[in-house]
Amino acid sequence: MVLTPEEWVRQHIVHYLIAEKNYPISLIAVEKKVTVNKLIKRTDILVFNNKGNPHIIVECKAPSIKITQDAFDQIARYNLKLEANYLIVTNGLTHFYAVMDFKKETYIFLDSIPNHNF
């Protein structure tokens, strides 16, 4: 695999999830296929909970890419199918974390995501 700027961000976020947030590597999938509106897409990182359900979706951008509403719209579309609890959009320099409010069909920004619960 070529270490593109986006891949550099992805590897650092995986390391953060494991080393800082205590998520087991066995619960983390990279470039997981998702079908959205009959199109096959890929999540950059998908973290599962202990029951095997999607828990966190991570969208990684290259450090030179500014994070916009479009990035959140992209991850939100993926989440219509996956129904993960948390969303992360990052370019390695700027990170946005959100928790889903499924009743109101929106998300609420957070300072971080919670640690993994064993």
Compare 80 and 36 and report the one with higher pLDDT.
80
Max intra-chain CA distance, the chain: 41
In DSSP terms, 54 is beta-bridged to: 48
Strands (E), 37-105: 39-48, 54-60, 86-90, 95-101
Task: Write out pLDDT tens, residues 15-59.
Answer: 999 999 999 999 999 988 777 678 787 889 999 999 999 999 999
Q: Return the sign of the alpha-carbon dihedral for residues 17, 59, 73, 62.
A: positive
Every domain of the chain and the residues it spans: 5-110
Q: How much is the mean pLDDT over the chain?
A: 89
Q: Hey, what long-range contacts does 96-104 have (CB within 8 A, 24 or more apart)?
A: 96/67, 96/72, 98/72
Q: What is residue 55's predicted lDDT score, i.e. its pLDDT?
A: 95
Using 50, 70 and 90 to split pLDDT, how confident is the model at 93? Answer: very high
The yes/no answer on whether domain 5-110 falls in CATH 3.90.1570.30 is yes
Pairing of strands 39-48, 28-36: antiparallel
54-75 burial, b at 16+ Cβ within 10 Å, e below that, comes to bbbbbbbbeeebebeeebbebb
Higher pLDDT, 76 or 86: 86
Query: Which of helix, strand or coil describes residue 101?
Result: strand
